[in-house]
Amino acid sequence: MTLSPTDAAKRNAALRALEFVRPGMTIGLGTGSTAAHFVVALGVEVQAGLAVRAVATSIATYNQAASLGIPLLDPNDIDTLDLAVDGADEVDRQHHLIKGGGGALLREKIIAAAAHEFVVIVDAAKMKPQLGSFPLPVEVTPFGAALTTKAVQAVLRGQNLKADTVRMRLAPDGAPFISDGGNYILDCACGLIAAPDAVAGALSAVPGVVEHGLFIAMADIVIVGDETGAAVARVD
């Protein structure tokens, strides 16, 4: 099968992430099209005899990994996580991330934070001088979502960001998109984010915000793929 240039870049990044996998590891599996390439590659290794176990950050990833024979654990049954491998929507020069385009940001952040090493795999187009071209996903509880939306908008205004472009994410049938955790997602096209750590802190303080897609200083390794290969950078 011929891959598009973007898909080839995602696959090249995913394949390099295998370098960080060791026998006996428990591995967090991310969500999205780039993470799916990693799951396929890991599945090939498992079928060839590699002994690893995994936890999934979404129902979609769980189903994909299970279909490939990757042994899966309930996150509540593990004490430690050696590695997490996941994609991202944007990566800035400080290696802060925007994630959540696929709506799995809550589980992704729990798993990335728990992992001893968090490996981010992206195609080169995801690398940005500043975060914010991609609308920032914010996961909110359905209860009081309209009030929480107003509070999120106030936070954005307070950070000199655009607030009138905050939109509830919708499913194809026009109803609110529901995350695996049963929550809504606000997509905040707030413009370029000059101070992502300040925005992250302010959003986390809003009652009703379950999680947001700013992953600040979480990446340990960033692998950037292109059509011909991938480059690995360790984050200091």
Figure out which of the listed residues 11, 95, 99, 169 binds ligand A5P, where binding follows CB under 6 A: 99
Strands (E), 13-160: 26-29, 53-56, 81-86, 90-91, 97-98, 115-123, 136-140
CA-CA distance, 17 to 45, in Å (whole number)?
A: 12
> Is the CB of 95 or the CB of 99 nearer to ligand A5P?
99
Q: Is 132 in the site for ligand A5P (CB under 6 A)?
A: no
For residue 51, the minimal CB distance to ligand A5P (Å) is 26
Using rule CB under 6 A, residue 108 touches ligand A5P? yes
Query: Of the residues 19, 45, 90, 108, which is catalytic?
Result: 108
Q: Is 89 in the site for ligand A5P (CB under 6 A)?
A: yes
Site track for ligand A5P across 10-39, x = CB under 6 A? --------------------xxxxxx----
The verdict on 220 binding ligand A5P (CB under 6 A) reads no
Question: For this structure, is 108 an active site residue?
Answer: yes
What are the two backbone dihedrals, phi and then psi, of residue 85, each rounded to the nearest 5 degrees? -130, 125
Instruction: Fill in the amino acid letter for 33.
Output: S
Token output for 110: 């729990």
Helix segments in 68-186, DSSP class H: 105-114, 145-158
Asked if 103 touches ligand A5P (CB under 6 A), the answer is: yes
List, as own/partner pairs, every contact residues 164-173 make where C-beta atoms lie below 8 angstroms and the sequence separation is at least 24, other chains included: 165/135, 165/189, 165/190, 166/190, 167/135, 169/103, 169/137
Applying CB under 6 A, which residues contact ligand A5P?
A: 30-35, 86-89, 99-105, 108
Q: Which residues belong to the active site? A: 108
